[in-house]
Amino acid sequence: MTLFTISGGLADRITAGDIDISNLVHSWLYIMFAVVFLSFIIGELTRNYSQTDKLWSIMPIVYSWVTVSQFPAPRLVLMAILVTFWGLRLSHNFYRKGGYSFIPWEGAEDYRWKIMRERPELKGRLRFGLFNLLFISFYQHALILMFSSPLLLAALNSEKGFSVIDLLATLGMLSFILTETIADNQLFRFHKEKSTDGKGEKVYTESLKKGFMTEGLWKYVRHPNFASEQAIWISFYFFGVAASGIWINITLTGPVLLVLLFIGSTQLTEQISSGKYPEYNSYRKDVPKFIPKLF
């Protein structure tokens, strides 16, 4: 059995027994490089660098149904349905925060990109343009492809039936989609209350006094939405385990890099919050970042 044959730095051919998914892999790569190019060009032309942010919840859905179109196995259909459910919910949350616009390349830009543009090492059109190409556009889209890659492993072993691991992966994804939904709704309600400047009924009065969210799921971890997002894709990884029977496989790269991305992203976010809110450092000391205290 040959799992990966590397040619020119890309997976040129992936086979297992009689199953050949090289055409599927090439389809994924063509799609990825097309959206990398579009995200980079549109970001540079509009100076709105949240183009990849707009596609974050959409691309895994695309990869899922492209895979199902070539390998309509029950496990892959289940995976695609779960990813679609995740993506539509996340897209709705992004939309209600102003991330999408009738004109596709407009919409609110993540405030952190503006801060990043002012950093000395990235300041200037050329420097930030390279950052946009290499990190915002290429790396993030490559990461999306990587944490979606259990679909490829499931396609490679599409003849294998369901197991208890599939059930646990499904329950894990649904549970963490639920907690992410609750966290996003709580944060959205908080920001809505914050923007009304004292008008209307208040639910998060303690958080409003401090200026940042500390109630609901946020009293257990500082970033329950981000923690849930990571856990969703860790759960998704186990579909590949169920299909292949290999507990540690190459698709683990995706969720590991996703965790590292969120660690870096939250460091920047918390630096900003610490500078804005006097009590934030105390909150950081008392409340874990991602994993709640059990005792």
Q: What integer pLDDT is reported at residue 16 of this predicted model?
A: 61
Q: What integer pLDDT is reported at residue 53 of this predicted model?
A: 97
Percentage, residues of the chain above pLDDT 90: 89
| Cα–Cα distances in angstroms (integers) from residue 209 to residues 45, 82, 280, in the given order | 40, 38, 12
How many whole angstroms separate alpha carbon 88 and alpha carbon 43?
A: 23
Helices 140-148, 224-244: axis angle to 10 degrees equals 50
- The residue with tokens 């970042």 is 289
Mean pLDDT of 80-91: 98
Q: What integer pLDDT is reported at residue 15 of this predicted model?
A: 64
How many whole angstroms separate alpha carbon 173 and alpha carbon 175?
A: 6
Coil, helix or strand at residue 5: strand
Domain ranges of the chain: 5-286
By the 10 Å C-beta count (0-12 exposed, 13-18 middle, 19+ buried), 94 is classed as buried
Q: What integer pLDDT is reported at residue 7 of this predicted model?
A: 30
Is residue 226 within 8 Å of 264, Cβ to Cβ? no
Amino acid symbol at 16: A
Amino acid symbol at 235: S
Q: What integer pLDDT is reported at residue 176 of this predicted model?
A: 98
Average pLDDT, the chain: 93
pTM given for the model: 0.92
Name the helix (H) or strand (E) containing 189.
helix 164-195
In tens, the pLDDT along 217-226 reads 999 999 999 9
Residue 243 has pLDDT above 50, yes or no: yes
Which of the pair, 295 or 55, is modelled with greater confidence? Answer: 55
In tens, the pLDDT along 49-83 reads 999 999 999 999 999 999 999 999 999 999 999 99
* 294 pLDDT tier (thresholds 50, 70, 90): confident
Which of the pair, 105 or 238, is modelled with greater confidence? Answer: 238
Residue 28 has pLDDT above 90, yes or no: yes
Q: What is the DSSP track for 8-67? A: TTEEEE-EETTEE-HHHHHHHHHHHHHHHHHHHHHHHHH----HHHHHTTTHHHHHHHHH
Residue whose C-alpha is closest to residue 90's, from 139, 54, 39 = 54
Is residue 50 within 8 Å of 110, Cβ to Cβ? yes
Handedness of CA 52, 101, 273, 234 (dihedral sign): negative
How many whole angstroms separate alpha carbon 45 and alpha carbon 49?
A: 10
